[in-house]
Amino acid sequence: MNYLIEELLSDIQSEFPKISFGYRETNFGGIIPTFFINIEDEKTLTNQWKSITEFIAVHFQSSLRNEFSVWNIYLFFILEQEIKDDLKYIIENDTFSSRKIIIYPKQDIESIIQEHIKNDDTEIQPIIGFEETSFQPNSAIWEILNRISYKKKITDDIKNGLDEIIRELKKVENDEV
C-alpha cells in the first residue's frame, strides 16, 4: 500500500467515522483497486453510499493514470444482515465511477475477490456436439448491398436497400419452413 492510499484511508475514515474501510489492489489483467466498506446497518448504507462513492471518485479515482484501473474500481459494501432488494438494486446498478456490490452475510476479503472479480466459481464446460458451419453467402443480399451507395447519413437508397434485404430474408425464411 503506498502513501497515497494510507492518506486516503485516513481521510475517508475521518469523513465517515462510523464506517470502517479497507483497500486492496488485485492484479487480474491489470491493477484493480478494491475498497471494502464495512457498514453497520441498512440505514447507514442508505444515507452514506453515495457520499462514499463520490469521495472515492474525487479523492482517489481522479488521480489514477492507468485507464484499466480507472474503469475497474470495485466498492464492496459489507453488511452483517440482508438489506431490502430495492436498495441493493439501486446501489449495484448505479453506474457512477465504480462497480458497487452489496455483500451479506459478511465474508472474508479473499472469498469476495475470488467470487466477484476473478469469478472462480464460474464453471466453463465444453460444448459437446457443436458443429461449426462455414459461412454461406447469399447472392441476392450481396447484390442488393452492392447497389447501395454509402454516405454518412441514411439515404432513401439505403432505406430501400435494407427493406429489400428484409424482404429477401423473409422469403428465404419462409422457403425453409
Residue 172, φ and ψ in degrees, nearest 5: -60, -45
- 126 CB-contact burial (10 Å; exposed 0-12 / middle 13-18 / buried 19+): exposed
Per-residue pLDDT, 93: 96
Residue 146, φ and ψ in degrees, nearest 5: -65, -25
Please, what is the average pLDDT of the chain? 86
Q: Which three cell numbers stand for residue 83?
A: 438489506
Q: How many helices (H) and strands (E) does the chain have?
A: 7, 4
Per-residue pLDDT, 136: 79
Per-residue pLDDT, 38: 95
Per-residue pLDDT, 106: 83
Instruction: With cut-offs at 50, 70 and 90, classify the pLDDT of residue 152.
Output: low
Task: Provide the edge-to-edge strand list for the sheet that holds 20-27.
Answer: 20-27, 31-38, 74-78, 99-103
Q: What is the pLDDT averaged over residues 36-42?
A: 95
Per-residue pLDDT, 147: 75
Residue 121 has pLDDT above 90, yes or no: no
Per-residue pLDDT, 176: 61
Q: What is the pLDDT averaged over residues 124-142?
A: 76
Residue 152, φ and ψ in degrees, nearest 5: -70, -30
Residue 76, φ and ψ in degrees, nearest 5: -105, 115
Q: What is the pLDDT averaged over residues 68-79?
A: 96
Residue 2 has pLDDT above 70, yes or no: no
Whose CA is closest to 140, among 174, 166, 176, 177?
Answer: 166
The lowest-confidence range among 57-71, 140-154, 156-170 is 140-154
